[in-house]
Amino acid sequence: MNRIGVLTSGGDAPGMNAAVRAIVRKAIFYGVEVYGINRGFMGLINSDFVKLDISSVGDIIHRGGTVLLTARCDEFKTKEGQEKALKNLEAFGIGEMIVIGGDGSLKGANVLSKLGIPTIGIPTTIDNDIPFTDTCIGFDTAVNTVVDALNKVRDTATSHERTFVIEVMGRKSGHLALYTGLASGAETILVPEIPFDLNLVCEKIEKGYRRGKLHSIIVVAEGAADSIEVGKVIEEKTNLETRVIILGHLQRGGTPSAYDRILASRFGGKAVDLLKENVKDKMLGLINGELVLTDIEKVLATTKPLDMELYELADILSF
């Protein structure tokens, strides 16, 4: 192993920079050169490579986003695009890759592996929907960002005696909604994994109102329902003033938490170790505090289940 490449792909997540920093500095410790690929898989196709050194990754551990930039690239899904990427890697003498990102990025990592480039995947997404790891880089920061927003919303909700419907990210998974809803004491959490009846949601809101509650917070995962419609139905059925807030991309930004910085550093450093040991086609994960390895193809073929025990607890505590 003489020269490795690293890229960040898909949606950005706090902690990506900490992972890049760890990869570069651990590789240099071993005497290995590192090239950063700008703009993810698009950079592979466009030969947008930059040599990284210790100074390149100085003062980035605390920064959100990704210094390598990120982009989505449909061209890499084609045979022609993959051949361009492989040709560029060979031209630069890059023999191994580390891919930082979510499920789409892991699909790209799997392609690189099949093209003969030993690749390690690092799960990084605020959705936390990657299986075979308890948590992904960025999730902890996003949870804290959303909870902070919900705390502020609760202040105004109480003052005006309103119901608030808050939409959070997560695509087709409800992990972010569940954790933020539980941590903020939301009255109801709507997630894609569990069917719900808005009539029952409204009954719960009215029951709380009758016993003296001044407000209600409903957390909706973006893949569970149209939050605007949910707000309309709640207001019509309860006759209580209801507002809808879509938190959007602010959930992705911000300084990564200490937990995410440490997790990213562990993943990044270990990824270099694995390539040095000729391990390939694996995704790193963290289970019960221990680093684990899983075949990337197995990861892609598996859906991460929602923690039903946690969901039931949140439901019980919300009354």
* 14, 105, 66, 149: CA torsion to nearest 10: -30
Annotated catalytic residue 197: no
CA 77 – CA 111 distance, rounded (Å): 9
**Quick one: which of 269, 253, 278, 318 has its CA closest to 34?**
269
The catalytically annotated residue of 103, 127, 260, 281 is: 127
Q: Where are the alpha helices (DSSP H) in the chain?
A: 16-29, 40-46, 79-92, 103-114, 139-160, 175-184, 198-210, 227-238, 258-276, 296-300, 308-317
Residues 6+ apart with CB under 8 A from 206: 238, 240
The position carrying tokens 């409800």 is 174
Beta strands in the chain (DSSP E): 3-8, 33-37, 49-52, 96-101, 119-123, 163-168, 188-190, 216-221, 242-246, 282-287, 290-295
- Cβ(27)–Cβ(33) below 8 Å: yes
Say how many residues make up the chain.
Answer: 319
Residue 68, token pair as written in the block:
């390598």
Residue 76 · residue 39 · CB < 8 Å: no
The CA distance from 130 to 101, in Å, is 10
Q: Do the bridges between strand 33-37 and strand 49-52 make them parallel or antiparallel, or are there none, so unpaired?
A: antiparallel
Q: Coil, helix or strand for 5?
A: strand
Query: Among positive and negative, which fits the CA dihedral 141, 145, 150, 151?
Result: positive
**Active-site residues: which are they?**
127
